[in-house]
Amino acid sequence: MSSTFVVLVARDLRLAARRRIDAALPLAFFTVAVSLFPLGVGPEPQMLRQIAPGVVWVAALLAAMLSVTQLYASDLSDGSLEQMLLVPGGRIAIVAAKAVSHWLLTGLPLALAAPLFGLLFDVSPAALVALVASLVLGTPVLSLLGGLGAALTLGLRSGAVLLILIIVPLCIPVLIFGAGAVAAIDAGQSARGHYSLLGALLIFTGLLAPVATAAALRIATE
């Protein structure tokens, strides 16, 4: 299973390197969405600091959902998904590899780019650190839940709309605790509780989402 996982992650990264425009689309969307808010709400520093955590996290959530819709669709269309599912014990490895590759291509770049956009909102250095930490803890949950939604809507007409309707409500706790961690630091409080809850959500999702996603893939391909 470990060898299958490594091979699939490397395969997805190579495919993303060949499709650079598609791979860069979530980051481009994130950049445009976050950059437009200061222009819309005005240059007041206090207002920008207050809305910064929510703006960044909402943009990150939408960017993740934008890229997750094709997580399994291309493999299904060319027949490679069925072949990968024939590997003994390969379903969990496939799901885990897809989630990790999606996070490496989407979640990690968003977390690394967040401090640059945090400066647009006049966020303090401590709050920037909290923003990056919350994104590092929270974006893997978005990838895991997005993979579940992609498997549930695989092959369905208007699957992208259904995916958003199914998965976005499940991502709301991550959004709340992620933005809350930054707001707590900005208010001079400890964000340890928010980090603990994000870590608990990551563990809970990491244990259950791959199993559910593997079952959804089996149903979608039968």
What sections of the chain are H helices per DSSP? 2-18, 20-41, 45-68, 73-77, 80-85, 90-102, 108-120, 125-152, 159-186, 192-221
Number of domains in the chain: 1
Query: Is residue 222 pLDDT above 80, yes or no?
Result: no
Query: Is residue 1 pLDDT above 70, yes or no?
Result: no
pLDDT, residue 108, reads 92
Question: String of b and e for 49-82 (b: at least 16 CB within 10 Å)?
Answer: beebbbbbbbbbbebbbbbbbebbbebbeeeebe
Query: Is residue 160 pLDDT above 80, yes or no?
Result: no
The CB-side HSE value for 206 (13 A sphere, CA atoms) comes to 13
Q: pLDDT (tens digit, 9 = 90+) per residue, 28-55? A: 888 888 888 888 877 787 888 888 888 8
Contact in structure between 71 and 150 (CB atoms under 8 Å):
yes
| Cα 22 to chain centroid, rounded | 15
Instruction: Print the domain residue range for 165.
Output: 2-221
